[in-house]
Amino acid sequence: MNNVILIMLGLFSGMVMATAVVAFITAVGVVPRLAQKTKTCNFAIVYETAILSGLLAGTLFSFYTINLPPSSVLAVVTSLAGGIFFGALAMSLAEVLNVIPILMRRMRLKSGLFYFVIAIALGKLAGALIYFIVGGFNS
């Protein structure tokens, strides 16, 4: 009986967390903004399907350990897709909160927004590469 209760508690907790993630992504407006910026509004359903498929795959990967060599195609594609998703999520959140315009105004920058965003992206890339090449800074 205890195992049944634990299984139900785990399933319901997972459902609540999945709902919260989807609600957050919806509130931030990643899909509509991404579709608008790329001028692919007709493919918004593809974006939504990809996000939900990624959430499902992430859930499955959290239950089952899959060891992939770092140079395998699946590892590279998965890492690239995850990076694109989190980058789009971060930029959407920053746009919703008007972080970049406020920062540009406070730094008194009149032009160069493109270079500013590229510098942020390259800094994030460098940090991720250092993290994974050095070994994750396990504490």
Q: Is position 85 within any domain? A: yes
Size of the chain in residues = 139
3-state helix, strand, coil in the chain (%, to 5): 80, 0, 20
CB 109 within 8 A of CB 116: yes
Radius of gyration, CA atoms only, the chain: 19
Listed in sequence order, the residues at least 6 apart from 46 whose beta carbon sits closer than 8 Å to its beta carbon are none
Measured distance CA(73)–CA(38) in Å, rounded: 26
Give me the domain span that covers residue 7: 2-97
Q: Is position 126 within any domain? A: no
Q: What is residue 84's predicted lDDT score, i.e. its pLDDT?
A: 78
- The number of domains in the chain is 1
Q: Is position 132 within any domain? A: no
Which of 26, 133, 40 is closest to 89 using CA atoms? 26
Q: Is position 128 within any domain? A: no
Measured distance CA(52)–CA(67) in Å, rounded: 23
Residue at 83: amino acid letter:
G
Q: Is position 40 within any domain? A: yes
Q: What is residue 135's predicted lDDT score, i.e. its pLDDT?
A: 64
Q: What is residue 139's predicted lDDT score, i.e. its pLDDT?
A: 47
Q: Is position 45 within any domain? A: yes
Residues of the chain with pLDDT under 50: 139
Q: Is position 65 within any domain? A: yes
Q: Is position 7 within any domain? A: yes
CB 47 within 8 A of CB 35: yes
Q: What is residue 96's predicted lDDT score, i.e. its pLDDT?
A: 65
